[in-house]
Amino acid sequence: MKYVQTIEFTTTRIDEVMALDKKWESATVGKRTATGMRITQDRDRPNTYMWVIEFPSAEAAAKNNDLPETAEIAEQMAKLCDGEPVFRNLDLLEERDL
């Protein structure tokens, strides 16, 4: 079963957060298990963002989270956020193209 993790956070330093994401992406080539990512910005709440990250399974997501590069970037990202990021861990029940 596919698995999706969302990360919702607020920051006034989105350019720095995006640079960290690019750094993680480069550092985890051939190691990461994420298969897709969508980066969104909330139109109704300033400086609020949600990342939607797709994995083939919950086990693959756990393996990705165990990468030292993931822990390092998450720690740096948290310092750029206004408050704690909110994580949601979701099993994908159905996927449709509309």
| Overall average pLDDT of the 6-35 stretch | 96
Residues of the chain with pLDDT > 70: what percent? 100
- Domain ranges in the chain? 3-30+42-49+61-91
Question: Of 36, 43, 39, 33, whose CA–CA distance to 7 is shortest?
Answer: 39
| Overall average pLDDT of the 77-94 stretch | 95
User: Which of 34-39's residues contact partners 24+ apart within 8 Å by CB, and which partners?
Assistant: 34/61, 34/64
User: What's the pLDDT tens digit per position in 50-79?
Assistant: 999 999 999 999 999 999 999 999 999 999
Contact (CB, 8 A) for 64 and 33: yes
pTM higher than 0.75:
yes
